[in-house]
Copies of this chain bind each other. A is one copy, B any other.
Amino acid sequence: MDQTQVAMMGSVTSPLGFTAVAHAAGLKKENQLDLALVVSEHACSCVAMFTKNQVVAAPVIVDRETLAQNSSQLRAVVINSKNANACTGDPGLANARATQQIAADVLGCQPEQVLVLSTGVIGVQLPMDKLEAGILAGAVGLSRENGRLAAEAIMTTDTHPKHLAVTVNLPGGMVTIGGMAKGSGMLHPNMATMLSVLTTDAAVAPDVLDGLLRTAVNRSFNRISIDGDTSTNDTILLLANGASGTAVADPDSIAQFGTALNQLCTKLAHMIVRDGEGATKFVEIRVTGAQSEADAHQIANTIATSPLVKTAFAGSDANWGRLLMAAGRAGIAFDQTKINLWIGVRQPDELQLVANGTPTDYQEVDAAAVFAQPKFKILLDLGSGGGGTAVVWTTDLSHDYVSINADYRT
């Protein structure tokens, strides 16, 4: 029996002992929310994963330093949208550290107990007066009711906030994991332009938490792709404050907690894909029969990021030639005469389009009917005899994607 319950209206404040606040600090126009604080009553274990981009924002540098010194006594996360604090040099680093200090002073903790996240435009210094006033004004409103608003405050081109929670009955008692994320453009394996804060009231040691987060992220956030780009700021944080009184330490509890965390991360990742810039389709691409999972992932990802494939999705054109072509340029050797390809709406193998590298006698109208759906699945079997399998989720490349990104700064 699955011990996990999913609460789609849940958030980072669903786990016990967490509060949040959202504030319009004046970084965005017209009084929109642009600043969020997530605070734990108790000190937290905390682990993080950061962008693999060579160009990293000041908050990424500062958070890496902070977590290297302290991964077990974290108290708060400050997140601003609209300004990425990237390519801002030494002043940018000083501003990120000043933000830690401002929040620590307000919350009565040490600056090394505070993490900072930023997302938005690159190359502009943070307006520290606005940020400081916002943190001071906002902190008085910290509440368990504000998880959803915090998810709204971290949005950039997202069209709606992304948040949920899961509860899981462990042998030692019930624990809750909450989360929020912002995504939209620049999404890619390696977590491009994504921020996510995950919270739990389980008691978990940092080293256990680290392994669980890496596993969950590799099967969720690192399997989604909007446009193949990655950002300077991508960060995912997981804070565990132990407020439930239930420990995740024995193998059974770790396994169950891990499954629930995977589920939470996968759902958040899917929300991000569905809200991809200009996205009108949600497509699952499954590659099987590869020599390894890495090979399968590489091929699935090459298909998922191919502009020609993604424009075919946008046009509801079941152009399988482009799928095979994209697979063929992934840099992974395979035998084209052993390829099989299926598509489907509910199951990925409802309609076979290609058998042993050549088209079946399927009817174009049937294939088009699948691709016309807002959500469909593709299954490519390489027939290598190997057991390598991977799934990625992606979107189409639409006119709206071009519109959104051609005019982002105006």
Contacts and interface: CB of A to CB of B under 8 A. Distances in A.
B55 A328 contact: yes
A33 to B, nearest CB: 23
A26 interface: no
A201 B333 CA distance: 38
Given A327-B55, A409-B319, A87 B122 contact: no
Interface in A293-328: 305-308, 311-312, 314-315, 317, 319-322, 324-328
A356 interface: yes
A55 B331 CA distance: 11
Interface in A177-206: 185-186, 188, 190, 192
Contacts of A122: 320-322, 324-325
A13 interface: no
Contacts of A130: none
Interface stretch (A68-76, A229-237, A260-268): A229-237
A325 B406 contact: no
Nearest to A314: B406
A88 B324 CA distance: 13
Contact of A308 (B227, B308, B321): B227
A401 B329 contact: no
A186 B230 CA distance: 22
A259 interface: no
Contact of A332 (B54, B190, B314, B407): B54
B321 A228 contact: no
Interface of A: 52-56, 84, 86-89, 92, 121-123, 185-186, 188, 190, 192, 227-232, 305-308, 311-312, 314-315, 317, 319-322, 324-330, 332-334, 336-337, 339, 354, 356-359, 397-399, 401-403, 405-410
Closest 6 CB pairs of A and B: A122-B321, A315-B406, A55-B328, A311-B405, A54-B328, A53-B328
